Amino acid sequence: VIGVVIGKTDVRSFPDRKNIGSERYTFSFTIRDSPTYFINVTSWGREEYIRALSESFRVGDCVTIENPLVQSKETEREEKFNPITPSCYKLLLSENHSVVKTSSCYEMDTKLLSLLHLPVKDPQDYYSLGDITANGQSLDGRILNVLAAVMSVSQ
């Protein structure tokens, strides 16, 4: 699978249920290869492997993923922590079987670069900041998608 990384989580650790007293590490990222299709990728493993893999690329890089495990996603649980994707699958990376290679999007396909700036949500499924300000009370407690642009950054 070849795509541009459009999102990425930080490395996290969890107690290993199989080896009491040790921890397993994970991080996730989302890749996109067309305006319509993108998929979540998760990797679990030893701290050294996960940290090295996470540091090997960043959002905006093009990656080639070889030998991922393709799994059906558990929609309710998966999409609580990852972007909602149009696919009913997710990719899992394994230290022993999978490989992630990074390269310049210019070398791969400049069309991939343009995918970085496309929203992942339906354009009709957003609230503007003005809508939220005007209707704040009626929206209280609801989960909203917000479409906004950064106008400036300062201290």
pLDDT digits (tens, 9 = 90+) for 69-81: 999 988 666 666 6
49: which 2 tokens? 């492997």
Nearest 5°: phi and psi at 110?
A: -65, -20
pLDDT of res. 88: 87
pLDDT of res. 144: 76
Rg of the chain, C-alpha, whole Å: 18
pLDDT, tens digit, 9 for 90 and up, residues 69-127: 999 988 666 666 677 788 889 999 988 999 999 876 666 667 777 787 777 777 677 77
pLDDT of res. 30: 93
pLDDT, tens digit, 9 for 90 and up, residues 10-57: 999 988 888 888 888 999 999 998 888 999 999 999 999 999 999 999
What pTM does this model have? 0.77
Q: Which domains does the chain have, with CATH numbers?
A: 2-115 (2.40.50.140)
What number of other Cβ atoms are within 10 A of residue 26's Cβ? 15
Q: What is the mean pLDDT of the chain?
A: 84
Number of separate helices (H) and strands (E) present in the chain: 6, 8
Is residue 43 a contact partner of residue 26, using CB atoms and an 8 Å limit? yes
Residue with tokens 């996960």: 50
